[in-house]
Amino acid sequence: RTIEALYRDIRRVFENCRAYNGSDPSCPVMVACVKCEQFLEKEWNSTFAELGNGLMFALPKTENNVRVAPPRKVSPGWYATVTKILKHVRSMQESAVFREPVDLDAYPQYVKVVKRPMDLGTVGKKLTKDSYGSAQELLADVRLVWENCRKFNGLDCRDEIVSDSYLCEDTFEKQWDEHGLKGASGPTVLKELERAGAKKNHFGCELSLLEGGAIGCVVELYSPQERKWMPGTLTKYSDWRRDYLVQYRDGYEERVSLRSEDVRLQSAPDKVWKVLGRKPPPKEATRPSRQIAQFEPRTQNA
């Protein structure tokens, strides 16, 4: 296909319109046809040179008088950076399942749960085709990959694919922030949110500001779905996401941002209570064991 063929195809659209609708100037379709045709001629002539019987793209010529394609437009400054970050994450062993679209033959129910499928391979193709107007548009698509994964598979970190999604997400967001790109939800931004919440006496924010110091504490998290408090232990802490891995009594594990949860502290080391400036809840008094009195048997008088 040549540029001349492209021009002829576009012209054929207007010719077909006239062949079907006639040449009545009062016809709304013909009015639109004329306007579009005039716009084409104007824009084409401002970029192309008039040669032969039609308009032809004024391409530079080589020594063999062969027309070559125009140079690719200069990519924005962030293009090389995000390409490097995306390549690094795709090279991770944990990202293997996220590199290609989900196999709908194997998981036909996927499209019923996830309305906007996305994968790292598609992101890479869109980047190569200059489909992103800004780095933030690409960031939104990459975040969609992790969100879709957890929407379909749940939040239990004992599930390998869920755990991998968090690891890949952390790596991507951290590199995004380290390269000075805008939009990363890094620790600096999150810490400011926690400080603001702590000033309003939000207990979850106060615990988050301990930055891992609450590991081992037993907490209760309120579940709006089940309308009850769920007890669990804080087992691990992420410096980047500033969240904790919570292990519930039934073995279920999930990553939780305490700054966005209703939290109650059940038990913690004394130093944690001291840092928080709070008093531990009073321990329930234990009832003394009931002793059964021993009586001597009565003796009968003779």
- Report d(CA 136, CA 140) in Å as an integer: 6
Q: What phi and psi, each to the nearest 5 degrees, are found at residue 248? A: -85, 170
Quickly tell me which residue has 């037993």 as its tokens: 218
Q: Which of 154, 251, 265 is nearest to 208 (CA)?
A: 265
Please, which residues bridge with residue 228 across strands?
A: 223
Question: What confidence score (pLDDT) does residue 172 get?
Answer: 92
Q: CB neighbours of 207 closer than 8 A, spacing ≥ 6?
A: 214, 217, 219, 258, 263, 265, 276
Question: What confidence score (pLDDT) does residue 60 get?
Answer: 45
Quickly tell me which residue has 């502290």 as its tokens: 265
- Report d(CA 203, CA 199) in Å as an integer: 10
Q: CB neighbours of 196 closer than 8 A, spacing ≥ 6?
A: 205
Weakest mean pLDDT among 100-104, 144-148, 207-211, 239-243: 239-243
Q: How confident is the model over 152-174, as pLDDT tens digits?
A: 998 888 889 998 998 898 899 88
Question: What burial class does residue 158 get, using C-beta atoms within 10 Å of its C-beta: 0-12 exposed, 13-18 middle, 19+ buried?
Answer: exposed
Q: Is the confidence at residue 251, as pLDDT, over 60? A: yes
User: Phi-psi bin for 64: left (phi > 0), alpha (psi -120 to 50), beta?
Assistant: alpha
Question: What confidence score (pLDDT) does residue 144 get?
Answer: 95
Question: What confidence score (pLDDT) does residue 62 get?
Answer: 47
> What is the SS3 assignment for 181?
coil
190 versus 146: the higher-pLDDT residue is: 146
Q: How confident is the model over 105-156, as pLDDT tens digits?
A: 999 999 999 999 999 999 999 999 888 988 999 999 999 999 999 999 988 8
Q: Supply the pTM of this predicted model.
A: 0.57
Q: What phi and psi, each to the nearest 5 degrees, are found at residue 74? A: -65, 130
Q: How confident is the model over 26-67, as pLDDT tens digits?
A: 677 877 887 887 787 777 776 654 443 344 444 444 445 444
- Compute CA 55 distance to the chain's CA centroid, rounded to the nearest angstrom: 46
Q: Which of 171, 172, 163, 161 is nearest to 97 (CA)?
A: 161
CB 257 within 8 A of CB 237: no
- Report d(CA 60, CA 54) in Å as an integer: 18
- Compute CA 27 distance to the chain's CA centroid, rounded to the nearest angstrom: 49
Give, as one character, the DSSP assignment of residue 213. T
Q: Which of 37, 47, 64 is nearest to 3 (CA)?
A: 47
- Report d(CA 223, CA 246) in Å as an integer: 14
pLDDT band at 189 (very low <50, low <70, confident <90, very high): low
The per-residue pLDDT of the chain, averaged, comes to 79
CB 121 within 8 A of CB 99: yes
Question: What confidence score (pLDDT) does residue 294 get?
Answer: 46
Q: Is the confidence at residue 232, as pLDDT, over 80? A: yes
